[in-house]
Amino acid sequence: MTARPAKHALTFVFVTVLIDMVGFGIVIPVVPELIMELTGESLSQAAIYGGWLLFLCALMQFFTAPIIGNISDPPFPDGVWSSRRPLALFGRPRLESEHFQLLHDVQIRVERA
């Protein structure tokens, strides 16, 4: 018989995925305009740059996921660091600070326009 995951664990995973999707929802519509502003290129060229950026992001996640997985594996199976939860708890504030920084930059840009 398998153990059921705790209700709070599923809630934590759901909230984490929700925050990630909201972050993507904030970033994706603005990326072409930001690239156009930074490079001075046309929208079609900015879309190509944005596609390459998303491709590189996915590629880096593909290569670094095993490294992060090894870091989060328990060095001491019965110790405090015996799960991936501490790594997720330490990584979440960093990701959220990036989302809020981008949102702040977009608000400044909109106010100037």
pLDDT, tens digit only, all 113 positions of the chain: 455 656 777 888 888 889 888 888 888 888 888 888 888 899 899 888 888 888 888 898 899 888 777 776 666 566 555 566 666 777 778 778 877 877 777 666 666 65
H or E element that contains 79: none
Q: What is the pLDDT of residues 83-105, one digit of tens each?
A: 666 667 777 787 788 778 777 77
pTM of the model: 0.53
State how far the Cα of 8 lies from the Cα of 102, in Å rounded to an integer: 29
Residue 1 is predicted with a pLDDT of: 47
- Predicted confidence at residue 109, as pLDDT, reads 63
One-letter identity of residue 28: I
Residue 13, pLDDT score: 82
Confidence at residue 11, expressed as pLDDT on a 0 to 100 scale: 86
- The pLDDT of residue 42: 92
* Residues 84, 72 contacting (CB under 8 angstroms): yes
| Res 69: pLDDT | 73
Contact between 106 and 112 under an 8 Å Cβ cutoff? The reply is: no
